[in-house]
Amino acid sequence: MKEKAWFEENENRIPVGEVRTRFAPSPTGYMHVGNLRTALYTYLIARHDGGKFILRIEDTDRGRLIEGATDVIYRTMAECHLEHDEGPDVGGPVAPYIQSERMSMYKEYAELLVENGNAYRCFCEKAESEEDSGEFDRGDDPCRTLTKEESDVRAAAGEPYVIRQLIPHEGTTTFHDEIFGDITVENKTLDDQVLIKRDGMPTYNFANVVDDHLMGITHVVRGSEYLSSAPKYNLLYQGFGWDIPKYVHCSPVMRDAHNKMSKRHGDPSYEDLIAQGYLTNAVINYVALLGWSPGGEREIYSLDELKEIFDIKGISKSPAIFDIEKLRYFNAEYIRALSPEEFAKAAEPFIRQAVKNPAIDPAAIAVLLQQRTEVLTDIPEKLDFFDSLPEYSAELFVHQKSKSTPETAKSVLEQILPMFGELSEWNDERILDAMNRLTEAMGVKKSVVMWPIRIAAAGKAVTPGGAVEICRILGKEETMRRLEIGLEKLS
């Protein structure tokens, strides 16, 4: 075991006097909604109190690692504007911030617990699942009663062992959670969890405690599924003589009243939601309200506003149900709040899925869509008529509310074609002026003229934008070609 000075040096590096939170994901391929919420709450706690937000990569479970997954974490954090103050890519006073690069210290701290009587070496041959989970009857484990001297001799002889936490047989352990309050458990219900496996690798539970202490973490935010492990964490902190951080256990995000969200069951990750046409800021706003309430009726908050108002007391004990329709509502609100330039940029890739003609400006189409779009993936199906006129029936020209009949439609197209042909400029003003002149000449309502022109130009009853905008975007030549096709259908 290391000398006392080594442990003291580690202690001296720990930052003090500030709120310090950490997001500690495993690189397993994607950022699910629950993980994103944990990252967000962790970030908001730090920012609200002017503290530090730390990113730590927990990669000790080598069997679950997926190549490129760490890049997904960095990219998601950056897109969501959850900037970390310390982490693998930016460094910091308690580096390294990748668990696999800290491997040399965990065994030393486990041996320190053995030295002070809060852990023991277990030489029993147990199945790997038992070793990982601690599922065994400790009352029958002869290694609990080995003297330190006996244990040292067997270890020195090269006999393989795990290091287990020594949980007291009697009494209770009480821990405090910021959401659930004080929770007391009987020690006899706790197992002697494995801290260090036979191969020298730390278990998740042990590495977490050591890293959180050595990084000066003041608030530990995690899912409520870890409530059952919290008493053992407390006993570890007490065994080392360390201060216990504030626990913030968040109830799960559910697909419905009975089932947690799960990638295996097709529930969306953050990346899936973005691919499905949701805006990052809308996702962040909605996720913040999954199990937390600022109070009052207001729902739309920017990230900067969330930093100001976020309070742990607003986190609910009850599970939160992920409602995709509610997220859709949030997204529509965010889309409408974008500037025209911002929306055009966000919408362009989706516009180009349907409108491949380079002569058509996607920004011109975006103007028609912004107030009619809830998610960006709605866009392509609204625009298929721009590249090519779809097949349609002459029955579309008949519209009772617009007072459009086959006869009036035929008359409108016959008269508007030469008027369009005479236009030297092709813009909204000139196109509308031609339509208004025809309306006046025919002595009809404007809709009688507008309806058949839009139907002939688009071949669809429902379109983003009206006749004027569609004709302008299509251009004079293509508009007149389509109107002639419409006239043929009516002849």
pLDDT band at 62; cut points 50, 70, 90: low
Active-site residue, selected from the candidate residues 260, 263, 460, 476: 263
The neighbouring-strand residues paired with 247 are 177, 220
Q: Record the pTM.
A: 0.90
| Three-class HEC string of 56-107 | CECCCCHHHCCCCHHHHHHHHHHHCCCCCCEECCCECCCCCCEHHHHHHHHH
pLDDT tens digits for range 73-90: 999 999 999 999 999 999
What average pLDDT does the segment 258-263 reach?
83
Instruction: For residue 151, give the H/E element and its range.
Output: helix 148-156
Neighbours of 330 (CB within 10 A): 22
pLDDT of residue 262: 77
Give CA–CA dist 118/116, Å, rounded.
Answer: 6
pLDDT of residue 479: 98
Give CA–CA dist 301/310, Å, rounded.
Answer: 11
pLDDT band at 355; cut points 50, 70, 90: very high
Give CA–CA dist 137/143, Å, rounded.
Answer: 12
User: Of the candidates 114, 210, 209, 90, which has an alpha carbon nearest to the alpha carbon of residue 162?
Assistant: 114
pLDDT tens digits for range 261-306: 877 777 899 999 999 999 999 999 999 999 999 999 999 999 999 9
pLDDT tens digits for range 423-473: 999 999 999 999 999 999 999 999 999 999 999 999 999 999 999 999 999
**Sole residue written with tokens 């130009």:** 457
| 263 given a catalytic annotation | yes
User: Of the candidates 38, 125, 19, which has an alpha carbon nearest to the alpha carbon of residue 76?
Assistant: 38
